[in-house]
């Protein structure tokens, strides 16, 4: 049936219809031919050939119908995939915009806070001196990393 | 004639499957960045304002990572919806 992919739809339908009509006509002719003298000796071969042609036509028609159903399904699916790809791109654009907007706000907030810290630094620093232990503890907390190590994925796990 | 009818019923065309290619959606580059390490307070710092400054920076970094993780989740959920809509 892969051959059907190479032929245009109209040509396939044309061939299939011709085969079915020719086969059916041959079967009918072979039925009436027995009443005609001299020619009726060809009845059996005509009947056999007509049946083969008709059956081939029916078979091809089945193949053609299935082929058309699949082509239709594929076209629908391709359309859906195209739509989903467009939606997917839109989602990406929105997510990117939201990310950039939110990060911008966070960065601005940090700048504002840093500015405020600078403004009140004299007041803060006047009454408080940070001990080195406090700095060490804070840095330790910042350096802390998870102790659980995960083994790299094995070949079997990847599947 | 009976044989012919039986034969007709038995005959059926073969079907062919045509694969439809789907590509996995690309994640926005912004979400692929790693969260940076937290900043440390320089050794010997005695001023609370300097310590506060580092802490504020770290909070900012955390917020950025939080946004990134939230949007990763959102991205996945939205893309899954879009993916599942194709049947």
Would you say residue B10 lies in a domain? no
Chain B residue with minimum CA distance to A115: B53
Q: In the prediction, which pLDDT does B60 show? A: 96
Tell me: pLDDT of B9 over 50. no
- Structural domain boundaries in chain A: 2-143
Tell me: pLDDT of B24 over 90. no
A47 vs B13, more confident: A47
Q: In Å, how far is A154's CA from the nearest CA of chain B? A: 23
Q: Which domain holds residue B82?
A: 27-87
Would you say residue B13 lies in a domain? no
Q: What is the DSSP letter of B70?
A: H
Would you say residue B7 lies in a domain? no
Q: Taking CB atoms and an 8 Å cutoff, what residues of chain A touch B28? A: 92, 95-96, 99
Q: Are A5 and B16 an interchain contact pair (Cβ–Cβ within 8 Å)? A: yes
Q: Are A80 and B87 an interchain contact pair (Cβ–Cβ within 8 Å)? A: yes
Q: In the prediction, which pLDDT does A23 show? A: 93
Portion of chain B with pLDDT greater than 70, in percent: 79
Looking at every residue in chain B, the average pLDDT score rounds to 84
Q: In the prediction, which pLDDT does A54 show? A: 93
Tell me: pLDDT of B40 over 90. yes
Q: In the prediction, which pLDDT does A150 show? A: 67
Cβ proximity of B15 and A72 under 8 Å: no
B49 vs B16, more confident: B49
Q: In the prediction, which pLDDT does A115 show? A: 96
Q: In the prediction, which pLDDT does A9 show? A: 78
A92 close contact with B: CB closer than 8 A: yes
Residue B44's φ and ψ, nearest 5 degrees, are: 85, 5
Q: In the prediction, which pLDDT does A112 show? A: 97
Overall pTM > 0.80: no
Q: From CA A127, how far away is CA A14, in angstroms rounded?
A: 98
| Of the listed ranges A96-110, B9-23, B72-86, the one predicted with least confidence | B9-23
Q: In the prediction, which pLDDT does A55 show? A: 93
Q: Count of CB contacts below 8 A, A vs B?
A: 158
Q: Taking CB atoms and an 8 Å cutoff, what residues of chain B touch A70? A: 15-18
Under-70 pLDDT residues of chain A: 1-5, 149-150, 153-159
Q: How many domains does chain B divide into?
A: 1
Q: What is the DSSP string of A29-94?
A: HHHHGGGSTTGGGGHHHHHHHHHHHHHHHHHHHHHHHHHHHHHHHHHHHHHHHHHHHHHHHHHHHH
Q: In the prediction, which pLDDT does A104 show? A: 96
A25 token code pair: 């006509």
């Amino acid at each position: 049936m892969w051959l059907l992919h190479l032929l245009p739809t109209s040509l396939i339908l044309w061939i299939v219809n011709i085969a079915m009509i020719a086969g059916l006509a041959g079967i009918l002719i072979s039925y009436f031919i027995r009443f005609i003298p001299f020619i009726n000796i060809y009845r059996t071969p005509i009947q056999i050939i007509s049946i083969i042609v008709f059956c081939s036509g029916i078979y091809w028609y089945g193949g053609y119908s299935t082929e058309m159903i699949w082509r239709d399904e594929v076209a629908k699916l391709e359309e859906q995939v195209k739509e989903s790809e467009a939606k997917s791109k839109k989602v990406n654009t929105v997510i990117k915009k939201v990310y950039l907007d939110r990060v911008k706000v966070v960065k601005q907030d940090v700048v504002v806070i840093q500015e405020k810290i600078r403004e009140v630094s004299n007041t803060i620093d006047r009454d408080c001196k940070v001990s080195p232990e406090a700095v060490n503890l804070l840095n330790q907390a910042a350096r802390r990393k998870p102790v659980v190590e995960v083994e790299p994925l094995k070949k079997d796990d990847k599947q | 004639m009976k044989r012919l009818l039986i034969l007709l019923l038995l005959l059926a065309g073969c079907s062919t499957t045509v694969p439809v290619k789907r590509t996995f959606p690309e994640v926005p580059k912004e979400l692929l960045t790693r969260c940076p390490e937290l900043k440390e307070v320089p050794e010997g710092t005695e001023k609370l304002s300097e310590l506060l400054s580092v802490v504020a920076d770290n909070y900012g970094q955390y917020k950025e990572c939080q946004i990134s993780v939230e949007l990763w989740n959102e991205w996945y959920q939205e893309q899954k919806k879009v993916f599942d809509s194709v049947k």
